[in-house]
């Protein structure tokens, strides 16, 4: 799986003879703005899984993870300022806002600290950014529905955490694809916060006001299973609900596929992107020239590979990819 996503051979583009500074005394911190869903929990678990051995092996001196109590940019900015005072050499950030943290990020850079943002990226020029094409993700959802439902119909949109760049980008992709597929109409929108329980309550709340003939649900991940439960509880026909690679979503999809041939599509960013951000930070500290913007592919689940992907997805978690140093070197080489 990982080798299919990252072209490991590209690592050969980095010469093994280049001398880099030692990073064994360097301390890296993770600043995370939210941990209230399975994707974020998997992201933190992946961070620990990969950075723990890196610390034990002396590659870095520390790789501490911190999560704010609330998804508030002001709180995360204060967290980053504390990290500056604590003398971390690099800060890896999953940001609550693409712009509201820029002041704190600039303070870190001015203090000589490397800042690498991922997933929820920042716009401050001194920081590095690792992301997928979230607009492309939104487009893929509508394009899948257009292929399966050429006559179109009414859709429900479930958005993520309001104010976070990921939510804005996926929504923008959905809007762009909708403009090209006028046979569809979005007749309702709710925020699911990328959490199944929140999405279920939100969808249950809006369903009574929606037409009966909802043919599809475009989502952002962590919300598909909750949406399905809301439709079923309301006695409504199950539309095509785009899933987000969560184990409960894939399990539900397989059950429906086995029972009735239900077809859908699932797409998300791998939670293990946090581990790629860690290795990118380590490489920057090690003296490697790294482009400011790095792109990683989406992880897609289809009708054909559903069983395979579900088998490798842990219960209660998300279909994942964890990155090694060599993978990071390949991504850097590919972008250089």
The reply to whether 325 falls in a domain is: yes
Same domain, 245 and 320: no
What are the structure tokens assigned to 6, written together?
């990252």
Same domain, 236 and 142: yes
Same domain, 263 and 278: no
The reply to whether 309 falls in a domain is: no
Tell me, what's the pLDDT at 2? Answer: 41
| Closest listed residue to residue 132, CA positions, set 27, 253, 244, 265 | 244
The last residue of a domain, from among 211, 246, 268: 268
Task: List CB contacts of 96: < 8 A, sequence separation 6 or more.
Answer: 33, 34, 68, 71, 72, 73, 75, 76, 120, 163, 164
The reply to whether 62 falls in a domain is: yes
Which phi-psi region, left, alpha or beta, contains residue 70 (left: φ > 0; alpha: ψ -120 to 50)? Answer: beta
Domain that holds residue 231: 134-268
Q: What are phi and psi of 52, to 5 degrees?
A: -55, -55
Tell me, what's the pLDDT at 7? Answer: 36
Same domain, 110 and 20: yes
Residues of the chain with pLDDT under 50: 1-20
Tell me, what's the pLDDT at 331? Answer: 95
Same domain, 247 and 329: no
Tell me, what's the pLDDT at 21? Answer: 59
Helices (H), ranges, the chain? 2-5, 38-56, 73-85, 102-110, 134-148, 165-180, 196-206, 224-233, 247-260, 273-285, 306-311, 325-335
**CATH number for the domain that contains residue 77:** 3.40.50.2300
Tell me, what's the pLDDT at 178? Answer: 98
Tell me, what's the pLDDT at 150? Answer: 97
The reply to whether 198 falls in a domain is: yes
Same domain, 127 and 35: yes
The reply to whether 310 falls in a domain is: no
């Amino acid at each position: 799986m990982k080798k299919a996503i990252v072209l490991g051979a590209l690592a050969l583009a980095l010469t093994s003879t280049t001398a880099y500074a030692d990073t064994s005394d360097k301390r890296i911190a993770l600043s995370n703005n939210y941990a209230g869903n399975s994707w974020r929990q998997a992201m933190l678990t992946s961070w620990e899984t990969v950075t723990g051995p890196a610390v034990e092996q002396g590659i870095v001196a520390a790789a501490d993870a911190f999560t704010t109590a609330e998804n508030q940019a002001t709180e995360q900015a204060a967290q980053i300022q504390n990290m500056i005072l604590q003398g971390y050499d690099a800060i890896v950030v999953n940001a609550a806002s693409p712009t509201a943290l820029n002041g704190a990020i600039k303070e870190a850079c001015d203090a000589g600290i490397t800042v690498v943002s991922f997933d929820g990226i920042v716009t401050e020029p001194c920081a590095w950014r690792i992301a997928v094409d979230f607009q492309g993700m939104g487009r893929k959802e509508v394009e899948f529905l257009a292929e399966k439902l050429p006559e179109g119909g009414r859709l429900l949109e479930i958005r993520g955490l309001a104010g976070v760049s990921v939510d804005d980008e996926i929504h923008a992709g959905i809007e762009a694809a909708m403009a090209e597929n006028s046979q569809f109409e979005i007749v309702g929108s709710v925020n699911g916060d990328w959490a199944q329980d929140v999405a279920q309550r939100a969808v249950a709340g809006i369903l009574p006001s929606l037409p009966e003939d909802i043919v599809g649900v475009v989502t952002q991940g962590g919300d598909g299973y909750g949406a399905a439960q809301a439709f079923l509880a309301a006695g409504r026909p199950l539309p095509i609900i785009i899933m987000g690679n969560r184990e409960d979503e894939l399990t539900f999809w397989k059950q429906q596929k086995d029972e009735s041939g239900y077809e859908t599509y699932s797409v998300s960013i791998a939670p293990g992107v946090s581990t790629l951000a860690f290795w990118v930070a380590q490489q920057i500290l090690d003296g490697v020239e790294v482009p400011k913007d790095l792109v990683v592919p989406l992880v897609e689940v289809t009708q054909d590979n559903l069983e395979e992907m579900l088998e490798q997805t842990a219960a209660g978690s998300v279909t994942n990819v964890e990155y090694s140093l060599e993978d990071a070197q390949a991504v850097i080489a590919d972008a250089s």
